[in-house]
Structure 1
Amino acid sequence: MKVLIAMDSFKGSISSEDGSRAIALGIRDVYSDAEIIALPLADGGEGTVEALVKATGGKSIKKEVTGPLKEKIDAVYGILGDKKTAVIEVAAACGLPLVPSDKRNPAVATTYGVGELIRDAIDKGCREFVIGLGGSATNDAGVGMLQALGFIFLNSYNEEVGLGGQELSNIRKIDLSSVIPELKDCTFKVACDVNNPLYGPKGAAHIFGPQKGATAEMIKELDKGLENFAQIVLQELGRDIQNIVGAGAAGGLGAAFAGFLHAHLQSGIELVLEIIEMEQNMQGVDFVITGEGKMDGQTSMGKAPLGVAQLAKKHEIPVLAMAGCITEETAILNELGITSYFSIVNAPMTLEEAMDSTVTSENLRTTTKQIFRLIQSVK
């Protein structure tokens, strides 16, 4: 019996690694000599650094950077096992959870710390980057990040603009003379699962601004700033950053990565599966086990378990999925590659009880054991 376990974390409950360990115990309760491959999983968002570092035998790096409100914070990024690839979640340096709810203000929040993380990784020898977008508190079109990398943005008085989304309207010129030279040797792969343009009704400010603390009036001003920035970039550099698919991701960081750092924006789960060599690890596997805390309609729209299931379907490998919560919408997953899915909650309990890490671990083990007892009986 050979089984590949590729679990996402059960957010707020159990990590991908601990969940995989519990499932492995359940398999070995039935097949003591089973060959088990466990690959930590993420979809490009929270947990991506941890999953990729563990999957490749890399290491985590802690670095003091400028936080979203210009305060000093400690942020963590990863260097993969090849020692030349850095993996960075932008939320580690400019994420919404870093800002108290009463202080959220995308007009002043900056992505400067993201640039500092990139610069630190370059100093450590990295030239390839995997970037997870999402969860930012910012709306500065990545200008803060670019400033940390040596890009200079000038106003009508030929003075450098400050930090934050409110400064975008003041940009009139772009000076590339101080950009750190190593950037030309760097490649960026960016996990981006939204397709919003930079500005306009479906742009960064209008769609994501409210959750970041923007008022209706602020959204109008931020949107004008994004439009001005796009026009200046087109005028000065000849690059159309407005119409890049995903330009509006993470407050416009998508535009900065694609337009200034020549990044390739792609599906988060596809990028992660490529890096951890998921397809190669499926060779000769009898079953694939995947899952996440909640499986619903969102799972069918490109989240981690679906990416795993679609690869397995290509190789005609049965896929078992487990989750703490399963909704009626989950049925569509049977058509998309998941053979069978199971809720691991086995008794009436409160949400708090269900999310207790010890309970989740035991429920994963018990559910897995019962599934493999059935498999054993029909083999």
Structure 2
Amino acid sequence: MKILIAPDSYKDALPARDATDAIARGLRRALPEVEAIRCPMGDGGEGTLDALLAATGAERRKTEVQDALGRPRPAAWGWQPATRSAFIELAEASGLQQLARDERSAMHSTTHGVGELIGEALDAGAERLLLTLGGSATNDAGAGMLQALGARLLDAAGQELPAGGAALERLERLDLAGLDPRLAGLKVDTAVDVDNPLLGHRGASAVFGPQKGATAEEVTRLDAALARFAYFAASALGVDHRGLPGAGAAGGMGFAARAFLGAELRPGIELVMNQVGFDALLDDAELVITGEGQLDGQSLAGKTPVGIARRARLWGVPVVALAGRLGEGWQAAHDEGISAAFALADGPMSLDEALSRCAELLADRAESVVRLLTACRRA
């Protein structure tokens, strides 16, 4: 039996590669002779860089940048000299998983480190950039990235704004004169894992701000601050991208990538599947096992399990999703090609316990899936 294992990461618990290994262990407990094809995946968030490097053979490089709170940290990125292509994962520099829960601050976190990584890629001679968004700790609409690349965001007194989305409330002038001129020759593709616009009830602040520590009052302030930033951006560029699907990805980084880098926003899972040759891996597969931290109604907007299910359905291969949690609206995933979905918890447990036992629970659920499959075959 050939089973393709293609999970995303399980946020705050396991990277995609470790999740793949855990699922494979469970499969072999039930069926030692199983042919388990391992393919860690990502849709733009943490772990996507690993999937891209494995697929392309690009070099892994490390650069010290600012994290989302302005502290120094080493961040990996990918470089492929033959094609002059760079791979940058936002979560490496400005990721939520790098912060303790009590450190998460949507008001003050910054994408400055992402801009530093782009600068490194330009220094290496990059002509193409694949920028993956997702898993961010930020809600600054890419303002920090722009500052790192030479733009100036000024208040009424002509002073540079501090880091974070909240500071954009005081924006009075957006000066792009110092923006790195090499960006004009850079072809940018951006992998996004959601289709949310920048603003409003489905925007970056309202939907994702609370996950990054924002209160209801702060969400309102952040939405207004990002609207102010979008106004000045439209005035400077002559085009308004605030309503673009995906503009709200990674706290508004989708907006900045399109507006200031000229990026094409594409579903991250589609980009990654194409890079890893996913269709070839589906050949002769009898089952795909995928998963992520939570499967819910939002997963239909571009998350890994649904993207994989849509592709596998074209090949007639059933898909089982193993999720840390089944959230509101998860049943809609059945209509997208997911044959069955299971939550990992095997009884009442705290979030901390679920996170610490993620690998064990994944292996157990995978074992049960294969035992059920083999039992049905014997029936």
**Deviations for 1:326-361, whole angstroms, at most 9, x for unmatched residues?**
68965544433233455677x667563795256336
Identity of aligned residues (%): 39
Q: Is the 8 A contact 2:69 2:110 kept in 1?
A: yes
Partner of 1:171: 172
Q: CA RMSD in A?
A: 3.8
Partner of 1:64: 64
Distance 1:336 1:151 in 2: 42
Structure 1 residue 359 corresponds to structure 2 residue 360: yes
Distance 1:76 1:168, change over 3 A: farther
Distance 1:338 1:149 in 2: 42
Distance 1:169 1:327, change over 3 A: closer
Q: Is the 8 A contact 1:13 1:360 kept in 2?
A: no
**Deviations for 1:194-221, whole angstroms, at most 9, x for unmatched residues?**
4444345654445544554556665555
Read off the aligned partner of 1:373 and give its amino acid letter.
T
Distance 1:42 1:301 in 2: 14
TM-score by length of 2: 0.79
Query: Does the residue aligned with 1:77 lie in a helix, a strand or coil?
Result: strand
Read off the aligned partner of 1:237 and give its amino acid letter.
L
Which stretches in structure 2 are left out of the alignment for 5+ residues?
A: none
Read off the aligned partner of 2:234 and give its amino acid letter.
L
Distance 1:159 1:325 in 2: 46
Which stretches in structure 1 are left out of the alignment for 5+ residues?
A: none
Partner of 1:122: 122
Query: Does the residue aligned with 2:6 lie in a helix, a strand or coil?
Result: strand
Structure 1 residue 4 corresponds to structure 2 residue 4: yes
Question: Displacement, 1:191?
Answer: 2.8
Query: Does the residue aligned with 1:87 lie in a helix, a strand or coil?
Result: strand
Query: Does the residue aligned with 1:131 lie in a helix, a strand or coil?
Result: strand
Distance 1:218 1:333, change over 3 A: closer
Partner of 2:44: 44
Distance 1:182 1:210, change over 3 A: same
Partner of 1:189: 189
Q: Is the 8 A contact 2:41 2:51 kept in 1?
A: yes
Structure 1 residue 16 corresponds to structure 2 residue 16: yes
Question: Displacement, 1:95?
Answer: 3.4
Question: Displacement, 1:256?
Answer: 1.0
Question: Displacement, 1:64?
Answer: 1.4
Read off the aligned partner of 2:61 and give its amino acid letter.
I
Query: Does the residue aligned with 1:43 lie in a helix, a strand or coil?
Result: coil
Query: Does the residue aligned with 2:245 lie in a helix, a strand or coil?
Result: coil
Distance 1:344 1:139 in 2: 30
Partner of 2:253: 253
Whose Rg is larger?
A: 1
1:94-243 aligned within 5 A: 94-98=94-98, 105-154=105-154, 160-165=160-165, 166-167=167-168, 169-176=170-177, 178-200=178-200, 203-214=203-214, 222-243=222-243
Distance 2:324 2:163 in 1: 42
Distance 1:201 1:366 in 2: 41
Distance 2:172 2:134 in 1: 25
Distance 1:275 1:111, change over 3 A: same
Partner of 2:306: 306
Task: Give the stretch that moved more between structures: 105-114 or 323-332.
Answer: 323-332
Distance 2:273 2:45 in 1: 13
Read off the aligned partner of 1:363 and give its amino acid letter.
D
Read off the aligned partner of 1:170 and give its amino acid letter.
L
1:80-99 aligned within 5 A: 84-98=84-98
Q: Is the 8 A contact 2:64 2:74 kept in 1?
A: yes
**Deviations for 1:299-325, whole angstroms, at most 9, x for unmatched residues?**
455432221111111122233444566
Query: Does the residue aligned with 2:338 lie in a helix, a strand or coil?
Result: coil
Distance 2:24 2:86 in 1: 30
Question: Displacement, 1:264?
Answer: 1.5
Distance 1:133 1:139 in 2: 12
Q: Is the 8 A contact 2:43 2:192 kept in 1?
A: no
Task: Give the stretch that moved more between structures: 127-136 or 114-123.
Answer: 127-136
Distance 1:14 1:214, change over 3 A: closer
Query: Does the residue aligned with 2:61 lie in a helix, a strand or coil?
Result: strand
Read off the aligned partner of 1:276 and give its amino acid letter.
V
